Amino acid sequence: MNDYDLISLRLLIVAVAYLLVLFPASMLIKRFLNPWIDQLEPASDSLVNAGAMIGNLERILILTFILLGEYTAVGFVLALKAAYRFKDTGSHPQAEYMLMGTFLSLTITLAIGLTARLFIALT
């Protein structure tokens, strides 16, 4: 395998990792959290689909930091988000719902990111 093929394979692994943290991951998180959605109060002061966008951006940032080996930055992103979102919510169920989504998002992204790093290392 020449250098060009090796670079192409690594780029393919990275591209697939980003696609996985966006599309199947968001559907899986939504499906997992669906049983609790009825227990939340309607948020009239919230932007439509803002939570999904925040989750996508969170997973992109976390995956990027994992691929770069910057695990401390992953912790910083999570601490910042969790502190802001938990403080921002007035209801305990909504805070729990957001934390479940955050931890599920983190687990999925860690699994995809570490697997991608493993495949890159094997190439």
User: pLDDT category, 77, cuts 50, 70, 90?
Assistant: confident
Q: How confident is the model at residue 31 (pLDDT cuts 50, 70, 90)?
A: very high
Count of domains for the chain:
1
pTM (2 decimals)?
0.89
The pLDDT tens digits of the residues spanning 42-67 come to 766 677 788 889 899 999 999 999 99
Residue 29, classed as helix, strand or coil, is helix
Q: Which domain holds residue 90?
A: 3-39+46-122
